[in-house]
Structure 1
């Protein structure tokens, strides 16, 4: 995991969210987290990223990074519901 500091705008970089999604995915794969707990965490990430991406004041360079993290979280959410 990378050490994340907040940017000048007070927001974390998209790597922060990518690391979170990957950590949950790895925990599910190694059975160190219950699937229902993982679903709840991923749901929260999807909701948070969705709200951030929908913010019209979000700079475009952050929006594209957050969109990538959101796509990854949605893919994991779909994987967990199978």
Structure 2
């Protein structure tokens, strides 16, 4: 049985890197296909960027995990810039 993200947050566990990557990829696919309004995509990206920024700033985060979250943060920022043009 798997626990959902809200249960992980209650216990202080970090969200899985794969789930955050999937969320960014999904937003990118929706933007590319025109399946989401620009404002909605920006809102989702804002939330993802804030979450990733918090994770990257966690002093207890192991360095190997930090680099993965930093990569996703950069990807999300690039997508946000793409939406602004």
Is the shorter-chain TM-score for this pair beyond 0.5, marking a shared fold?
Answer: yes
TM (norm. structure 2) is 0.81
1:40 aligns with 2:52: no
* Residue matched to 1:15: 18
How many residues are paired up? 77
- Describe the SS at the equivalent of 1:47: helix
Q: Residues 1-82 of structure 1: matches in 2 within 5 Å?
A: 10-82=13-85
* Residue matched to 2:4: none
Q: Unmatched 5+ residue regions in structure 2?
A: 1-7
**Structure with more of its chain in helix, by fraction:** 2
TM (norm. structure 1) is 0.83
Show structure 1 runs of 4+ deviating over 3 A.
none
* Residue matched to 1:3: none
- Describe the SS at the equivalent of 1:10: coil
C-alpha distance in structure 2 between counterparts of 1:47 and 1:66, whole Å: 12
Equivalent residues of 1:28, 1:38 under 8 A apart: yes
Provide the alpha-carbon RMSD of the alignment: 1.9
